[in-house]
């Protein structure tokens, strides 16, 4: 059953509980260092306000573990939101309870109510029915626009929907799901997946699912070395998940069976230690010194991977090509950003570290879409349904 979006619903004059993801990064003085998660939901909030709806926003911040933690108040978000929306924001002292029920009781659409951190209550992460029930008392309609947490079975995403007759998703969710479908369900081909990052284990489900859909698969980052080990090469002290060597074999066999072109690094930047000041050199994949570790793809690999992208019509990318946080090991990832950015393909970047890397390389605006979800994006890559979306479908 398809889900409804906010513009499919009659929200005029209604109270809307909108679940958003305002879990923004803060510096030590609790200044917001990146407000893109707030900006990403402005279209939904503005649409609701234009429809004269009364907007109540709910989000989590950090991991307070079910207890009040003043360091993780939504205060900084309220201030930034006020500036971005140019509208008064009332920050409630809690997300449930009499006080907040009174605040929303007589509210109008001249201001927006932001609830205090949902995770100050243990019920949120336990998908607790009673907590969800209290939340639901605040509004007439529930909207989920928190793609990045919708892989979690939490009360404000799942249990809460049972208490609303009318539920839907916001515009950010719509964009995320539409772009994902364009890349993975009905892609313009060739479809190329680039998968990188530290470990095979965290992306195994994604690898197994993605390989059944793509024409080419490019593997970079630490995880490539478990594959090279599976092929019998000595990888020195590079990242290895010994227990996944057999699995890596199976993935390689599957690629062969399905006729998927599988690309692994042919050279790498090796270092004598995991350190920005390490001694480094370029080595082919057959020549990784015994006591050294490979921390980035090398120049020949960059060339090989860029050629694999030449005819791509769709590119989906998750995970950096190396330990890009250190300058010495960032070139491979940054070069890939340039190649993907200059491609004519539909380019979709899966959040987490990948968008940080793309941003640092200045490629963000050249991508067709950069997902706001790390874990949720991986979930989709694994072919799994997001609990937060399924709860809307059940309505």
Which residues would be at the binding site for ligand AMP (CB under 6 A)?
A: 197-199, 202, 221-222, 239, 294-295, 319-320, 322-325, 352-353
Write out the E strands in 108-159: 111-114, 141-144
Of 42 and 356, which has the nearer Cβ to ligand AMP? 356
Minimum distance of ligand AMP from residue 349's CB (angstroms) = 12
Contact predicate 52/12, CB 8 Å: yes
Q: Which residues of 245-255 are buried (b: 16+ CB within 10 A; e: fewer)?
A: eebbeebbebb
Of 64 and 265, which has the nearer Cβ to ligand AMP? 265
DSSP code for 296: E
Of 70 and 290, which has the nearer Cβ to ligand AMP? 290
Of 147 and 329, which has the nearer Cβ to ligand AMP? 329
List the structure tokens of 331. Answer: 């070139």
Contact predicate 14/133, CB 8 Å: no
Alpha carbon of residue 345 to chain centroid: 21
* CA-based nearest residue to 22, from 72, 67, 64: 72
Of 84 and 283, which has the nearer Cβ to ligand AMP? 283
Question: Which residues, listed in sequence order, are joined to residue 317 by a DSSP beta bridge?
Answer: 194, 349
Please state whether the peptide bond connecting residue 170 to the residue before it is cis, i.e. omega within 30 degrees of 0. no
Minimum distance of ligand AMP from residue 228's CB (angstroms) = 11
What is the distance between the alpha carbons of residues 309 and 306, in angstroms, rounded to a whole number?
Answer: 5
CB count in 10 Å sphere of residue 366: 15
Of 127 and 333, which has the nearer Cβ to ligand AMP? 333
- Which residues are identified as catalytic? 37, 199, 352, 375
Task: Look at phi and psi of residue 201 and say left if phi exceeds 0, alpha if psi is from -120 to 50, else beta.
Answer: alpha
| Cβ-closest position to ligand AMP | 197
What is the distance between the alpha carbons of residues 211 and 281, in angstroms, rounded to a whole number?
Answer: 32
List the structure tokens of 200. Answer: 């095979």
Minimum distance of ligand AMP from residue 77's CB (angstroms) = 25
Minimum distance of ligand AMP from residue 378's CB (angstroms) = 9
Strand order in the sheet with 267-271: 280-284, 267-271, 293-297
Minimum distance of ligand AMP from residue 278's CB (angstroms) = 12
* CA-based nearest residue to 151, from 112, 199, 205, 102: 205
What is the distance between the alpha carbons of residues 376 and 99, in angstroms, rounded to a whole number?
Answer: 33
Of 241 and 353, which has the nearer Cβ to ligand AMP? 353
Minimum distance of ligand AMP from residue 203's CB (angstroms) = 6
């Amino acid at each position: 059953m398809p889900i409804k979006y906010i513009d499919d619903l009659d929200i005029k004059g209604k109270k809307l509980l909108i679940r958003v993801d305002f879990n923004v990064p803060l510096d030590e003085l609790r200044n917001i260092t990146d407000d893109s998660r707030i900006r990403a939901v402005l279209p939904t909030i503005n649409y609701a306000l234009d429809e004269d709806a009364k907007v109540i926003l709910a989000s989590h911040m950090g991991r307070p573990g079910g207890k009040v933690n003043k360091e993780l108040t939504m205060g900084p978000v309220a201030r930034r939101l006020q500036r971005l929306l140019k509208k008064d924001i009332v920050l409630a002292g809690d997300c449930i309870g009499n006080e907040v029920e009174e605040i929303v009781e007589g509210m109008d659409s001249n201001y927006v109510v932001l609830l205090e951190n949902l995770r100050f209550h243990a019920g949120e992460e336990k998908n607790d029915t009673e907590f969800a029930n209290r939340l639901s008392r605040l509004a007439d309609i529930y909207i989920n626009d928190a793609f990045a947490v919708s892989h979690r079975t939490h009360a404000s995403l799942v249990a809460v929907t049972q208490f609303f007759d009318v539920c839907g998703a916001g515009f950010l969710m719509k964009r995320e799901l539409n772009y994902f479908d364009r890349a993975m369900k009905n892609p313009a081909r060739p479809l190329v997946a680039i998968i990188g990052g530290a470990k095979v284990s965290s992306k195994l489900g994604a690898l197994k699912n993605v390989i059944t859909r793509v024409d080419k698969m490019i593997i970079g980052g630490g995880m490539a070395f478990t594959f090279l080990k599976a092929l019998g090469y000595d990888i020195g002290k590079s990242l290895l998940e010994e227990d996944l060597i057999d699995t890596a074999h199976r993935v390689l066999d599957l690629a062969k069976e399905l006729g998927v072109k599988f690309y692994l690094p042919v050279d790498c930047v090796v270092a004598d230690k995991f350190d920005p000041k390490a001694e480094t050199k370029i080595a082919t994949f057959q020549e990784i010194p015994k006591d050294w570790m490979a921390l980035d793809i090398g120049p020949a690999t960059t060339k090989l991977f860029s050629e694999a992208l030449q005819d791509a019509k769709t590119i989906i990318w998750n995970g950096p090509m190396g330990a890009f946080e250190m300058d010495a090991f960032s070139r491979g990832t940054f070069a890939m950003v340039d190649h993907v950015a200059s491609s004519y393909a539909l380019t979709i970047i899966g959040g987490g570290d990948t968008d940080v890397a793309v941003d640092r390389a200045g490629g963000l605006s050249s991508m067709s879409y950069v997902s706001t979800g790390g874990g949720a994006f991986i979930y989709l890559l694994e072919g799994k349904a997001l609990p937060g979306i399924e709860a809307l479908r059940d309505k």
